[in-house]
Amino acid sequence: MAKDTLTITDNRTGRNYEVPIEDDTVKATDLRQIKVNDDDFGLMTYDPAFMNTAACRSAITYIDGDQGILRYRGYPIEQLAERATFLEVAYLLAEGELPTRTQLDQFTETIKFHTYVHTNITKFLEGFRYDAHPMGMLLGVVGALSTFYPDAKHIHDPANRALQKVRLLAKVPTIAAFAFRHSRGLPLVFPDNDLDYIGNFVNMTFSIGGRHKPNKVLQHALEILLILHADHEQNCSTSAVRAVGSSHVDPFSAISAGIAALYGPLHGGANEAVLQMLDEIGDKQHIPKFIDEVKAGRGRLMGFGHRVYKSYDPRAKLIKKVADEVFEQTGLNPKLEIALELERIALEDEYFVKRKLYPNVDFYSGLIYQAMGYPTEYFTVLFALGRMPGWLAQWEEMLLDKDQKIARPRQIFTGHDERAFVPVEKR
Ligand code: CMC
């Protein structure tokens, strides 16, 4: 009868080892018994960038990268995008189940109660230069929240964790909107708790002299975009939140690490980079030359490719639909034509086909954000707003996981052997 084990022969010693296979996985620490002699540290695995290493067990988000499937807590992303609100999704990610009407009402009220930030936060914002990148402002101010809520360090108290999670979900739209207003030299707009979560955020960003009159289609589109970004299992920023959180620091500090990771152009910053790329291409007729440059290794087609998806990113499919609805309201963004042509060419080109490079979530999202009136450098902030529930759910899951310890990878040392110090005159 087949056994769920792996037999390994160490050809250095001729010894055999049998290690258990669970969930199609072997434990890296089971390899440590494989030694050449007693002094040997034991066999390690080498996996830069975690290409094939599961760093946790998680029940939050399921992705099948070959089939293009994404589910939060079992619910297909398509159904959530079509039928849920962002706060329902936030609740689902945190609690594991969709809220009942009463639970949702209570959750919504609690969030509303916490939307205001201490007025000293506005002073931080004043300190930033007029051209400060909004992601820099966001990560700085979210990190600074830990100084306003020193109680947040009591991470082993479930009630305390719940309070900090609500604070983050409630206050981050306020801080994000403040950063937007600061960049534009506009007076800050404070939360209006008669509005819903998305409506309040849109009002805080766009209101000029009175409550902003929302375009319902654009507001709904923003809600869908935030839902699509709400979690994506062990991506770079979530891994950052988990790794930093594993030191048992407060959640504001751990989440600001996630925001920092998201800022990078290979991660959330790609939505901004896509628009820069489309601007640089400028015209459809320049696309073939641009594609040739990418294929020659000079630059990347931003918004394409994914570590996990080796087929069309399901989020990108949904975003394309949202784009149609948005552009019907706002008129066509001329860059959409360039984007569509880039996609058409790339999907037929052997270079991209062979490497299974398809549009990812960031390819079309920036065009929509731009049509809504958000400047390019603000796009990743919108991604961060969307990702907040995922980071929080993953942070808590990590803390409650008995298998987890402080994140601390090993290394293969490649430096000098011991050598004696040489005084500066003798070097
Ligand atoms: N344009 C051109 N070539 C690419 C691209 C791209 N966008 N992405 C990957 N490749 C090539 C890469 O050069 C490599 O080719 P070769 O095998 O000849 O060396 C091959 O495809 C595999 O790429 P990789 O860098 O080993 O793949 P990865 O899993 O480490 O990287 C990625 C994933 C998303 C960082 C990468 O595809 C990329 O840089 N894409 C552009 C940036 C982007 O759109 N990021 C957003 C990701 S989705 C949302 C998010 O996570 O925030």
Distance CA 177, CA 184 (A): 11
- What is the model's pTM? 0.95
What distance in angstroms lies between residue 308's CA and the mean position of ligand 1's atoms?
10
The pLDDT confidence band at residue 371, using thresholds 50, 70 and 90, is very high
**411-422: average pLDDT:** 98
Q: Is residue 357 lining ligand 1, measured as CB closer than 6 Å?
A: yes
Token pair belonging to 294:
């990418």
Half-sphere exposure for 284 (CA within 13 Å, toward CB): 10
Distance CA 73, CA 89 (A): 10
CA of 319 to the centre of ligand 1 (A): 20
Helix pair 216-228, 361-372: axis angle to 10 deg: 150
Taking the C-alpha atoms of residue 77 and residue 354, their distance in angstroms, rounded to an integer, is 27
Please report how the helices 236-245 and 379-400 are oriented relative to each other, as an axis angle in degrees rounded to 10.
40
Range of lowest pLDDT (48-62, 94-108, 303-317) = 303-317
Burial of 425 (0-12, 13-18, 19+ CB in 10 A): exposed
Say how many C-beta atoms besides its own lie within 10 A of residue 305's C-beta. Answer: 21
Q: Superfamily for 74-263+377-400? A: Citrate Synthase, domain 1 (1.10.580.10)
pLDDT given for residue 301 in this prediction: 96
Atom of ligand 1 nearest to the CA of 235: 51
Burial of 263 (C-beta count, 10 Å sphere; 0-12/13-18/19+): buried
Provide, rounded to the nearest whole percent, the portion of the chain with pLDDT above 90. 96
Nearest protein Cα to ligand 1, atom 41: 302
Using 50, 70 and 90 to split pLDDT, how confident is the model at 331?
Answer: confident
The answer to whether the CB of 307 is under 6 A from ligand 1 is: yes
Q: Pick the closest to residue 71 from 364, 391, 390, 403 (CA basis).
A: 390
**Ligand 1 mean position to 303 CA, how many Å?**
9
Which distant-in-sequence residues (6+ apart) come within 8 Å of 243 by Cβ? 257, 407
List, in order, residues 6 or more apart from 267 with CB less than 8 Å away: 235, 236, 237, 261
At 23 the pLDDT is 96
Q: Which of 394, 389, 381, 386 is nearest to 166 (CA)?
A: 389
d(CA 72, CA 70): 7
Q: Which pLDDT does position 334 carry in this prediction?
A: 84
Average model confidence (pLDDT) across the chain: 96
Structure confidence at residue 333 as a pLDDT band (50, 70, 90): confident
Under a CB-based contact definition with an 8 Å cutoff, are residues 53 and 47 in contact?
yes
Ligand 1 atom nearest the C-alpha of 49 is 30
Mean per-residue pLDDT for 60-82?
97
Tens of pLDDT along 131-167?
999 999 999 999 999 999 999 999 999 999 999 999 9
Q: What are phi and psi of 10, to 5 degrees?
A: -90, 105
CA-based nearest residue to 222, from 371, 359, 62 = 371
Q: Which of 300, 302, 249 is nearest to 275 (CA)?
A: 302
Mean pLDDT value across residues 366-370: 94
Strand partners of residue 72: 61, 75
Tracing tokens 């080498």 back to the chain, one arrives at 46
Summarised one tens digit per residue, pLDDT across range 162-221 is 999 999 999 999 999 999 999 999 999 999 999 999 999 999 999 998 889 989 999 999
**Torsional sign, CA 48, 398, 145, 155:** negative
Whether ligand 1 lies within 6 angstroms of the CB of 291 is answered as no
| Cα 304 to averaged position of ligand 1 atoms, centre (Å) | 7
For 7-25, the pLDDT digits (tens) are 999 999 999 999 999 999 9
Summarised one tens digit per residue, pLDDT across range 244-294 is 999 999 999 999 999 999 999 999 999 999 999 999 999 999 999 999 999
The span from the CA of 327 to the CA of 319, in Å, is 12
Give pLDDT, residue 30. 98
Report yes or no: 32 and 201 within 8 Å, Cβ to Cβ.
no
Provide the pLDDT for residue 209: 87
Residue 94 confidence (pLDDT) above 80? yes
In the predicted model, what is the mean pLDDT of residues 305-334? 91
348-383 burial, b at 16+ Cβ within 10 Å, e below that, comes to: ebeebeeeebbbbbbbbbbbbbbbbebebbbbbbbb
Q: What does the pLDDT read at residue 131?
A: 95
For the cut 90, the answer to whether the pLDDT of residue 1 exceeds it is: no
Q: What residues act catalytically? A: 267, 306, 362
